[in-house]
Amino acid sequence: MSNSSQGTFLGHPKGLYVLFFTEMWERFSYYGMRALLLLYMVDYFKWTQEDASGIYKWYTSLVYLTPLLGGYLADRVLGNKWAIVIGAILMSVGHFLMAFEDIWMFYMALGFLIIGNGFFKPNMSVQVGRLYPQNDPRRDGAYTIFYMGINLGAFLSPLVCGALRDTPGLGPHWGFGAAGVGMAIGLVTYLIGLPWIKELPESAVYEPPEGEEAGQAANEHIMTEAEAETAPSAVATFSRLSPAIFTLIGVALLIGSPALWLMNLVKFDNFIAMEIAAIVAFIGGWILKHLSMAVRDRVLAIYVLSVFVVFFWGAFEQAGNAMNVWADQTTNRYLTETPRIPDVYPQTPVDLDEQGFAETLKSAFSKLTAINPVLTTSFQSINALAIVCFAPIFAWLWLFLARRHVNLSIAGKMSIGVFMQGMAFALMIWAVSYENGSSTTSLAALPPRFEIDGGGAVAFYDVPDFGDDEGFEEFERGDLPEEEMIAHGGRLVHDSSSGNLNMHGVLNANHRDRMLRATVPTDFVEAVWELARKSNAAETAAEESGEERFEIQVTLDQLPPGFDAKYLQGFKAEDLVFDASTRTFTVGTVLADKDYKQILVAGANPEFRSALNDLYLKSSKFRVSSWWLVWFYILCTLGELCLSPVGLSMVSKLAPRRFATMLMGMWLLTSFFGNFTAGLAGENWEKLAPTNYFFYITLALVGASFVCFCLIKKVTSMMHGVK
């Protein structure tokens, strides 16, 4: 059966181009928001890398878990089209909520985005496949075109949203708002284009164009789903036992994970992830139970390759996590100039009303088009740009090799993809050798709450976050937390005999400020805590009385030694005033956790603050060239092109139609576990030296690619002719 009734453009159904632009705008919104997310939590909320990575881990993981539910509802209740519309509406709401500063609004926004993506993501990918009849050779090309749409949006969004984030007077909330506008455009595009999206019935079979050689069609015959239902299994024993195996895996995880958590062998969020893995195993076994023969083999092939794809995404998704921080803090982003010495003090915010809206947008555009300095978020556009450039080359390469009877299997391509990702991180080990330069400054002794750990590195204990009442009570009593933080990944060493503080590598500004806060005297921490408490209570009282503004004060008995008001420059004059003569803080706004932390730095130990600022400036000369990240992302792209579009096409070919959307959701779960793994790794970014961090990832990827290579022949036989 042909698809002439659909109407075609450039050889493909017109509906493909509707889906292309819809997905382009959805990916614009997702990747624009993702480019800002971790930096927003670390730089704006001033959360630790570990805490920010924990939130990032769950957000980027759950957006790939909910497609399982969304796929099920689409298959059984809603249908693909209604599921996509519902998902787009929910995600639009979520992105616009991110434009507000309130912390609870932030969490609500993430919730809307997670649920909305569950409806949207799997149904878009499945709908592309349903535009084509069974065994249509154009399907691979369609997914390549669709994938280019994904990456066109992913290329533009970090540039646009990043420029808005870095423009004085605008900031990250404008970047998040731009992501919301992109999602709304995607929704409108889909609604307008619905008449062109015509899915073919299950019975539709590809008819070769007139003039195609019959012999060629016969030689390239691929077993249909109906034929696969009666064909014998290539792994008979494994196929027969597979439903029970997956059920046993689910039971083991379901029972074992609580035991591991109760014994404090895994953290609570890891316990939750293991419970989710148990549910996934049960669902995987349930699907297999309803299949048999070669059809079951094909689904098992999807499951086996999913394991290796988890390794790939676990490394690839460092782009928005550790690699984003590396670009922000450790990379010289001045491509053609001598690096500017970084600022030691926070800058005074620009007032949007004073500067003018037009001038502010002009500043944002100049940042978007400027060569020096490169925006931190722009590095995340390299991957998408490289895909748009290289995807046609790869599409030609696969055909070129096939004509010469060099047929790389799906498993073979994925093995190469995982290996190329490993080579990208091996390149970063080389980059660290240039970053790992030595800096020294004078420091007679470490301040209180700092000590030398067993390996000789400097370690410290944090002050509590604002809102951590239990932690603050312990702090007041003088109790130290159980966990000790290793400073600068173990590369900061104090030599008491010479009175020197020695360090390797570039000092991260956020980590520097975290160490400084740990030196603040207890009475000053208590005073700033009280100031924040009063500001929150005053806002509530002002809202109840209908007043537009409030003002509260806290007077200190004495200032900490070396108190430096320059660290209060990040506040607007009407929001925070400090009167040195009376030692009084006057506040006219709610002090959030980030504000509490910034004020603490002003009261840090002066000798230690001077030493760290000296190291911060000295170590800036070791910031590495931007070209390391450029080549890193190009290698990642080469790996992705061997794996990701191949995987989407593979699932659409191997999955039986009655479980097509659910299995696409199962395939997207590789990204759930990959993102979760990426987040787990990111939580340790500040605890490990970069050399070790990149080495462990490289080792895991190279090992996984080798195992995948060894299984190529067996997995290919389980696909029963699908290439």
Whether the per-residue pLDDT at 573 is higher than 90: the answer is no
Model confidence at 203, pLDDT cuts 50, 70, 90, reads low
Determine contact, residues 164/17, Cβ cutoff 8 Å: no
pLDDT-wise least confident of 174-178, 387-391, 502-506: 387-391
Mean pLDDT of 84-95: 92
User: How many residues does this entry show for the chain?
Assistant: 723
Which has more pLDDT, 233 or 272? Answer: 272
User: If you average pLDDT over residues 603-621, what whole number do you get?
Assistant: 93
Is the model more confident about 211 or about 246? 246
Among the listed ranges 44-53, 194-203, 693-702, which one has the minimum average pLDDT value? 194-203
Instruction: Measure the CA–CA gap between 439 and 502, rounded to whole angstroms.
Output: 6
Residue 213's contacts (CB-CB under 8 Å, 6 or more residues apart) are none
Q: How far is CA 136 from CA 11, 207, 294, 658, in A?
A: 12, 8, 20, 19
> Residue 327 contacts by C-beta under 8 Å, 6 or more apart in sequence?
333, 376, 379, 629
250: pLDDT confidence band, cut at 50, 70 and 90? very high
- Residue 455: per-residue pLDDT: 72
pLDDT tens-digit readout, 322-371: 998 899 889 987 766 555 556 666 555 555 555 555 555 555 555 555 55
Cα(492)–Cα(623) distance, integer angstroms: 17
Question: By three-state DSSP, how is residue 723 classified?
Answer: coil
More confident site: 498 or 652: 498
Hey, how many other C-beta atoms are within 10 angstroms of the C-beta on 408?
Answer: 18
Position 339 scores a pLDDT of 54
pLDDT of residue 701: 97
Query: What is the structure's pLDDT at 493?
Result: 93
Structural element, H or E, at residue 626: helix 626-654
Q: Is the pLDDT of residue 48 over 90?
A: no
Per-residue pLDDT of 212-248, as tens digits, reads 554 444 445 567 667 777 777 788 888 889 999 999 9
pLDDT in the model for residue 344: 64
Q: Of 320, 450, 436, nearest to 60 (Cα)?
A: 320
Alpha helices in 569-625 (DSSP H): 593-602, 606-619
- What is the DSSP-derived secondary structure letter of residue 88? H
Q: Which comes out higher in pLDDT, residue 628 or 550?
A: 628
Instruction: Flag the least confident range among 249-263, 338-352, 595-609.
Output: 338-352
Interval 476-524: pLDDT, tens? 888 877 778 889 989 999 988 889 999 999 998 888 999 999 999 999 9
**Residue 483 in contact with residue 462, Cβ under 8 Å?**
no
**Average of per-residue pLDDT across 598-616:** 93
- Please give the average per-residue pLDDT across 567-572, as a whole number: 80
Q: Give residue 375's pLDDT.
A: 78
Q: Give yes or no for residue 426 having a pLDDT over 90.
A: yes
E-assigned strand segments in 42-112? none
Domains of the chain: 8-200+223-229+292-356+379-432+624-718 (1.20.1250.20), 439-622 (no CATH)
- Residue 604 near residue 519 (C-beta atoms within 8 A): yes
Are 563 and 519 within 8 A, CB to CB? Answer: no
pLDDT, mean of residues 560-565: 87
Mean per-residue pLDDT of the chain: 84
pTM equals: 0.84
Phi, psi angles (nearest 5°) of residue 690: -55, -35
Give the model confidence (pLDDT) of 310-319 as tens digits: 999 999 999 8
For residues 60 and 71, give the distance between their C-alpha atoms in angstroms, rounded to a whole number: 18
Q: What does residue 367 show for φ and ψ, rounded to 5 degrees?
A: -65, -35
Lowest mean pLDDT among 43-47, 212-216, 409-413: 212-216
Query: What number is the average pLDDT over the span 135-148?
Result: 72
Q: Are strands 331-332 and 624-625 parallel, antiparallel or unpaired?
A: parallel
Which residues lie below 8 Å from residue 541, measured CB to CB, with a gap of 6+?
Answer: 550
User: Computed from CA positions of residues 114, 119, 123, 124, in that sequence, does the dihedral angle turn out positive or negative?
Assistant: negative
Residue type (1 letter), 410: I
Give mean pLDDT, residues 622-647.
Answer: 90
User: Phi, psi (5° rounding) for residue 539?
Assistant: -65, -45
In the chain, the percentage of residues whose pLDDT exceeds 70 is 88
The answer for residues whose C-beta is within 8 angstroms of residue 624's C-beta and 6 or more apart is: 330, 331, 332, 431, 434, 435
The set of residues, in sequence order, having a beta carbon less than 8 Å from that of 260 and lying 6+ positions away, is 266, 271, 274
Span of 281-285, 650-654, 657-661 with lowest mean pLDDT: 657-661
Q: Is the pLDDT of residue 437 over 90?
A: yes
More confident residue, 395 or 237: 237
Query: Degrees (nearest 5) of the Cα angle 354, 359, 364?
Result: 120
Could you give the CA distance from residue 377 to residue 389 in angstroms, rounded to a whole number? 20
pLDDT of residue 425: 97
* DSSP code string of 638-650: HHHHHHHHHHHHH
Phi/psi at 108 (nearest 5 deg)? -60, -40
Residue 403 pLDDT grade (very low, low, confident, very high; cuts 50, 70, 90): confident
Reported in sequence order, the residue ranges of 491-615 that DSSP labels E, i.e. its strands, are: 492-495, 500-504, 552-555, 576-579, 584-587
> Who wins on pLDDT, 293 or 512?
512
Q: How confident is the model at residue 421 (pLDDT cuts 50, 70, 90)?
A: very high
Q: Which two tokens stand for residue 198?
A: 């015509």
Q: What is the pLDDT of residue 1?
A: 44
